[in-house]
Structure 1
């Protein structure tokens, strides 16, 4: 039996700097107006800026208790540009957007099997899950660009996607990703070392 396709939602690129600023707002280190001011500088178009702000709001300022608690924990880990920050960003993204999780899962499986993959291979798997639509093609590309900005993947000279150097996933960050994956998958199963969501990290 197939499950219902999640809404795409994350249909814009999300830069690492915007994520860092949003995390600092959650930690109480700056006012949200500072984040909006940076978005206004980086994104001239009003509609695109509003959509991007909406994506950040859903990741970092959710209304429901469980994702809000996760975002607060993630912000506490995202202090420095390291494995904890990357885990924090992936956690809030997959908790807020199941589509982002599916792209990461498909990408992670291919990278674990092959070491690298073309963007087209992931696009085809997303088309199989959601139908061949322009919105699916664009959203998947935005996910790739976002992951590259966060340091999850890089594009090699031949345009293939590869994972960045695996980072050590410490216990607090691993627990955060466990919680995020369970929220996104409606599961209670801890992440295994082989889980495709963990492709940017060293086995534990």
Structure 2
């Protein structure tokens, strides 16, 4: 596992409305200082109330929000720019797909938790927190920080509406599913999910049905059409049926 993939980073419960507000601030043309002030004001009565610790929970949440939409990791600048343009065209209830993509690209740990959750939901119809945490610890190590961060990602997934509680404590079922047919958005999501992979590549049919994208149902679109939607995607043919797509070297992080 690469150094970037080993990092957890996403260690707080982050509500979808906070992510949406951050993107709105960016689209309105605010600079980083103004966005920080606005987010501090947004969260002051919701997180670390009456607290002013340098690295309290509020500051950690703002760091996560910044990494998703404001000061993104190197190699994600063009993905972010295109994501903002797509956001401007989407109805409010469909914007979750773009926020999800930026979470995947900026935080591979988010993708790891999502993938394990999606696999369990597909296999048995429900997913328990203990099962998900155990599988994520197998990837990231037997550390309490891993379990704690996984729990907070799961709480975020609840807040985002993609998981719902069952009658059994700590057991979740699939929440709302968003069906996506727009080829531009599908290509963008595929590109975002490739950033969460160590080798930055994958078979198109696997990517379209990836467990890390479990809240969405992506339409099956021709490989050539998919690759044509982004200059940062490169298509390879592997045999008669398999089409592989990868991020172009000059536009991405080191894979």
Alignment gaps of 5+ in structure 2: 220-255
Please give the residue correspondences for 1:160-199 in structure 2 after superposition, counting only pairs within 5 Å: 160-171=171-182, 172-185=184-197, 186-189=199-202, 190=204, 192-199=207-214
**What is the count of residue pairs matched by the alignment?**
201
Distance 1:59 1:149, change over 3 A: same
Shift in Å at residue 75 of structure 1? 3.3
Higher helix share: 1
Higher strand share: 2
Query: What is the TM-score normalised by the length of structure 2?
Result: 0.72
* 1:60-106 superposed Cα distances (whole Å, 9 cap, x missing partner): 11355641232233334445442x31211111111111111111111
CA RMSD of aligned residues (A): 2.0
In 2, distance between residues paired with 1:10 and 1:134?
14
1:157 is the counterpart of 2:161: no
> Is the contact between residue 101 and residue 192 of structure 2 (CA under 8 Å) also seen in structure 1?
yes
Greater RCO (CA < 8 Å, at least 6 residues apart): 1
Return 98-107 or 183-192, whichever deviates more: 183-192
Alignment gaps of 5+ in structure 1: none
Query: What is the TM-score normalised by the length of structure 1?
Result: 0.88
> Is the contact between residue 181 and residue 218 of structure 2 (CA under 8 Å) also seen in structure 1?
no
1:111 counterpart residue number: 121
Return 88-97 or 26-35, whichever deviates more: 26-35
* 1:14-73 superposed Cα distances (whole Å, 9 cap, x missing partner): 111211110101211765132221022221233111111111111111355641232233
Return 69-78 or 88-97, whichever deviates more: 69-78
In 2, distance between residues paired with 1:181 and 1:111?
19
**Secondary structure of 2:173 counterpart:** strand
